[in-house]
Structure 1
Amino acid sequence: MIVCVCHRVSDREIARHARAGMSFDDIQFELGVATQCGQCETCARDVVAQCNALHPVAALEAQPRSHTVQLSARIQDSAAWNPPSGLAAA
């Protein structure tokens, strides 16, 4: 899903950078997420925090490349969350 509409940054792109060991500040600088209107900052930080908790940097090589990010209930319950058709909330 698109997290940052202003810069068209997806949760997958944020997660990929976070799993590569980048901090939120690094990702913000690299992708521009949460630098314009700021509405996406909480969601973007949640994605980074979840990736950092699930994938310590030292264990990156052992993780499969196809891993997907599970959205927190807070994001899924948000009025801003519009899952694509056919995608059930986990």
Structure 2
Amino acid sequence: MIVCSCNALSHRDIEIAIHNGASRPAEIYSARKCKAKCGNCVPGIVCLLRSALQKTQAEQAQLNAA
């Protein structure tokens, strides 16, 4: 799914950037060598970023509990 039409940034691009250590929207754009243009995608990127970080934290908690 395309999240940012200005930069043709897909949800997969965002997931890859997060997997590679991005933790802020600017880092996600930087990973694709682009930047926000109109800004309509920022809320979607923030939502995907939060979901991914929460998932990572939950996985870490499970590993620590085991």
Report the TM-score, using the length of structure 1 for normalisation.
Answer: 0.55
User: In the aligned structure 2, how far is the partner of 1:19 from the partner of 1:55?
Assistant: 10
CA RMSD of superposed structures (Å)? 2.2
Q: Which amino acid aligns with 1:18?
A: I
User: In the aligned structure 2, how far is the partner of 1:18 from the partner of 1:54?
Assistant: 11
SS of the residue 1:37 aligns to: coil
Q: What is residue 45 of structure 2 aligned with on the other side?
A: 44
Q: Which amino acid aligns with 1:14?
A: I
Q: Answer yes or no: is 1:18 the counterpart of 2:13.
A: no
Contact 2:17 2:31 in 1 (8 A): no
List runs of 5+ in structure 2 lacking aligned partners: 61-66
List runs of 5+ in structure 1 lacking aligned partners: 60-90
Contact 1:19 1:55 in 2 (8 A): no
Q: Which amino acid aligns with 2:17?
A: H
User: In the aligned structure 2, how far is the partner of 1:22 from the partner of 1:43?
Assistant: 15
* Structure with the larger helix share: 2
Where relative contact order (Cα < 8 A, 6+ residues apart) is larger, the structure is 2
User: In the aligned structure 1, how far is the partner of 2:37 from the partner of 2:31?
Assistant: 14
How many aligned residue pairs are there? Answer: 58
**Superposed displacement of residue 19, structure 1:** 2.2
